[in-house]
Amino acid sequence: MSNETLLSRSMHAVWHPCTQMKQHEDFPLLAIHRGDGVWLYDANGNRYLDAVSSWWVNLFGHNNPRIKDAIKQQLDTLEHVMLAGCTHEPVVALSERLTDLTGLGHAFYASDGASATEIALKMSFHYWRNSNQPDKTQFISLQNSYHGETLGALSVTDVAIFKDTYAPLLIQSAQMPSPDFRLAAVGESAEDFALRCAEKLEIYVHENHAQLAAFIVEPLVQCAAGMGMYHPVYLRRAREICSQYQVHLIADEIAVGFGRTGTMFACESAEITADFICLSKGITGGYLPLSAVLTTDTIYRAFYHDITSKGFLHSHSYTGNPLACSAALATLAIFESDLVLQQNQHTSTYMYSQLQQRIASVDINIVHLRKQGMIVAFDVQTQNPNFARDCYSKALAHGLLLRPIGNTVYFMPPYIISESEIDFMLETALTAVTASM
């Protein structure tokens, strides 16, 4: 089937996410036929380097044989069974493995990041209710935060284009100053700025802790805010503040977990453990939908009761799907066998150093070049109000799938990307940026 036929059918049948559909009247969809490694291919054989890991989910490349084989083997045994009243080997094994990695336990599963956020918020609220502290019903998050687009998740999100339309439907929350170092005063270090923001957090928590259930935070990188990066000292202080005032700390590691920031989980950089951790995206290597929330034994025990209504009665039809759990187990096995975190250090260093060299040789006004693990980003100072769209289009014309966030260009490729592929990615991206100014 031709790309043109598929595009026409898609426009008539599919409502695409995060999209103003009318724009696709003159801005064609990209029709993908297959994937292999870091590359995506259309029906005409044109290929595109997936510089954004297909919305940050793909870790080890498209068409990865080990993850595929794990799914195939599981498919011959058990495709799905409800997790209410039943259990199975893949979900038990994955839960045990996640406990080993996070220091938290009793994994509760869903299928996407927003659902994981909902689960953590509800668990925190319900814990305080079960613990005879029913006044603790409010939540706080960071300015410019993003935690998903279901109503609870959107209530603690602070990105206007996603949130403002639905404001009448949302629960109220308060946003704390973001430690994103791009917001620091001239000459102020990232660490000093993070500590200054943490002081403001402490003032608010001190004054409102009797009503606060939890503080939810994206550790180290606020991705939807344009890859806003900050010093890990903020997380250490947030952990101390939340512990002191009996407020839960929820770590939203949906986008930054599984090696994206350099360590397996971003909280490790601050040497802290949150009360809840939300996981998704890379958990299955980008193969099947899955998310998980893990928490402390103290929180779990507050729901363990003779009275049914004190239990956590949240549910999803495909919770703990065996195929998805098998993909996740295969993904975690690759981390171990291939020493992925160590290899990523070399890859990210090469990507950053090569980008530095290339930026120095082009006439573009670029600021805030930054790196956190396998995430590299910079901001472009331009007067073009359609910069993101133009840059995406021009990169695509040269075989590169980018997805700028406003004036931020970022790279979050699969971990298996080679040096020659990195060279192509950076050179093509800068060509597209220059042409979009």
- CA 83/CA 401 separation, integer angstroms: 38
Instruction: Write down the pLDDT at residue 240.
Output: 98
- CA 125/CA 134 separation, integer angstroms: 8
Instruction: Write down the pLDDT at residue 1.
Output: 66
Question: Average pLDDT of 165-173?
Answer: 95
- Domains delineated in the chain: 32-63+340-435 (3.90.1150.10), 66-337 (3.40.640.10)
State yes or no: pLDDT of 336 exceeds 90: yes
State yes or no: pLDDT of 2 exceeds 80: no
Pick the closest to residue 63 from 416, 345, 428, 323 (CA basis): 416
Question: Average pLDDT of 338-362?
Answer: 97
pLDDT tens profile 45-74? 999 999 999 999 999 999 999 999 999 999
pLDDT tens profile 85-116? 999 999 999 999 999 999 999 999 999 999 99
> Which has the minimum average pLDDT: 24-33, 79-88, 141-150, 426-435?
24-33
Question: Average pLDDT of 109-135?
Answer: 98
Pick the closest to residue 156 from 167, 141, 166, 168 (CA basis): 141
Instruction: Write down the pLDDT at residue 292.
Output: 98
Q: Which long-range contacts (CB under 8 A, 24 or more apart) does 169-175 make?
A: 171/139, 172/138, 173/138, 173/139, 173/140, 173/141, 174/138, 174/140, 174/204, 174/208, 175/140, 175/141, 175/142, 175/143, 175/145
* Distance, C-alpha 362 to centroid of its chain: 31
Question: Average pLDDT of 158-187?
Answer: 96
Question: Average pLDDT of 248-273?
Answer: 98
Helices and strands (H and E) in the chain: how many: 14, 16
The pair of structure tokens assigned to 338 is: 């291939």
pLDDT tens profile 180-200? 999 999 999 999 999 999 999
State yes or no: pLDDT of 27 exceeds 90: no
